[in-house]
Structure 1
Amino acid sequence: MDKQSKIILISGPTASGKTNFAVKIAKKIQGEIINSDSMQVYKTLKILTARPNKIVQKNIKHHLYGTIDLNKKFSTGQWLKLAIKKIKSIQKKKKIPILVGGTGLYFQSLINGLVKIPEIPLKFRNKVRLMSKREGQKKFYKKLLKLDPKVKDKFDPNDTQRSIRAYEIKSYTNISMYDWLSKTKSEFKDSDFLKLQIETKREKLIERINLRTHVMINSGAIKEVKKFLELKIRKEQSANKVIGIVELTQYLNDKITLDEAKELISIKTRQYAKRQATWAKTRMISWIKIDPNKIDSYIKKLKKSSLKLDQLT
């Protein structure tokens, strides 16, 4: 695949300016944007999920935003299937696919393929989680190494989530997580991608998160939550995890003040951004780090005539 047909991936923590960056690149190189955020796929929740507005979507073609019904389950596998279809469709038009979002698992599935591990019963998974909590991460990781020596040096020993996942896979299937991974193939080669990650300083990100929370409230987030509650979405649906729903529901029920709701939303968003940063630190090592203060200078490096995307680096 030549440099003209590279697939651009843009990642970064929530509120880091990914969408703005993607739109600027798309305008410069005739690109089309594909959503890679697990919450922006849902209908209705435009404001709370910070979905690109109608004006932006009118000027640049956007895909997979607000397409899934709130009461429907939507898996990584479903997203991957749709994303691959969109990528190929955009490439046929001789345009550049630009995937932007904060869901690391989506990017991982696109780059490496989706692992076809058999579904592990919830009861079994909960048993492993309980063991992890009871033992503590240090002891639990030692147990994991005895059970599956292949995980050694594959990830940070303090990564609780990955340790639990590796343990449950090996103990349930009797096959190492890394043997499952080795059988997994992607539709694309790693060289097909230009992987860009926005890295924002913590203090600046907190500032941006607080501002975004304020803008969301002033833009109609409360009205959006009222509408969401009227739909009576089943509690097990992923859409309930959208940050702001719980907090603004508490406000609407007179359990907390609006200022308290804002503060709780900002705190939860900061926690989410921290989890995204942790994921990136261990699983996006090879991605090119982009300074958000220099985004405009990166865009200027792109020449309209040649579309040499490697100039971004």
Structure 2
Amino acid sequence: MNAPKTTEAKTAIIVAGPTCSGKSALALDLARTFGGTVINADSMQVYRDLHILTARPDAADEAAVPHRLYGVLDAAVPGSVAWWRSEALREMDEAWAEERMPILCGGTGMYLRALTDGLVEVPDPGDVARTEARGLAEEIGPEALY
């Protein structure tokens, strides 16, 4: 009988908390200390058009250590927790492959919960369902639809 296959545990750091609590500064310090890659876990900082409004790390901080998933979407493109989770897991794998510590930083609890607890697989309803729902909302009003 073959011995069970063992897998090496992978470690990451999560820096979470309320707005303006110093998460980005702490993540930067941790990245310098542990050779890390800072991975955005803030739902608004993924948008490139909201740099100032979201207190995203500045160019000097982003140049000091690798930063990922900051400013990667145009504000006209809808993001989702499923999209972010997939991208965050990919970025974590890249950091580990580069022997860097993934440091997830942000205040979007739903993103972090999706990362740690996973998501239920929900199929995309498609354009037909979206068009039907928009038409119904227009016909009966959003209050009645909700």
* Aligned equivalent of 1:73: 78
**Identity value in percent:** 37
CA shift for structure 1 position 114:
1.1
Alignment equivalent of 1:6, drawn from 6, 11, 18: 11
CA shift for structure 1 position 44:
2.2
1:31 equivalenced with 2:39 (yes/no): no
Change over 3 Å in CA distance of 1:70–1:31 after alignment to 2: same
- SS for the counterpart of 1:94 is coil
Task: For 1:40, give the aligned amino acid.
Answer: Q
Superposed, which structure 2 residues align to 1:117-266 within 5 Å? 117=122
Q: Comparing both structures, which one devotes a greater share of its residues to helix?
A: 1
* Aligned equivalent of 1:248: none
Which contiguous aligned blocks of 4+ residues in structure 1 show a shift greater than 4 angstroms? 117-123, 125-129
Distance 2:30 2:96 in 1: 16
Distance 2:31 2:55 in 1: 19
Task: For 1:50, give the aligned amino acid.
Answer: A
* Aligned equivalent of 2:104: 99
Alignment equivalent of 2:65, drawn from 60, 72, 78: 60
Identify unmatched segments of 5+ residues in structure 1.
Answer: 130-313
- SS for the counterpart of 1:105 is helix
- SS for the counterpart of 2:104 is strand
Distance 2:103 2:32 in 1: 11
Provide the alpha-carbon RMSD of the alignment: 2.1
Distance 2:83 2:101 in 1: 22
Which entry has the higher C-alpha Rg, 1 or 2? 1
Q: TM-score, normalised by structure 1?
A: 0.38
Distance 2:122 2:49 in 1: 32
* Aligned equivalent of 1:19: 24
* Aligned equivalent of 1:285: none
Superposed, which structure 2 residues align to 1:38-49 within 5 Å? 38-49=43-54
Q: TM-score, normalised by structure 2?
A: 0.78
Task: For 1:29, give the aligned amino acid.
Answer: F
Identify unmatched segments of 5+ residues in structure 2.
Answer: 1-7
- The alignment of Structure 1 onto Structure 2 pairs a total of residues equal to 126
Task: For 1:72, give the aligned amino acid.
Answer: V
CA shift for structure 1 position 116:
2.8
Distance 2:93 2:113 in 1: 18
* Aligned equivalent of 1:50: 55
Deviations 1:233-256, CA, capped at 9 Å, x for gaps: xxxxxxxxxxxxxxxxxxxxxxxx
Change over 3 Å in CA distance of 1:128–1:71 after alignment to 2: closer
Task: For 1:59, give the aligned amino acid.
Answer: A
* Aligned equivalent of 2:5: none
* Aligned equivalent of 2:4: none
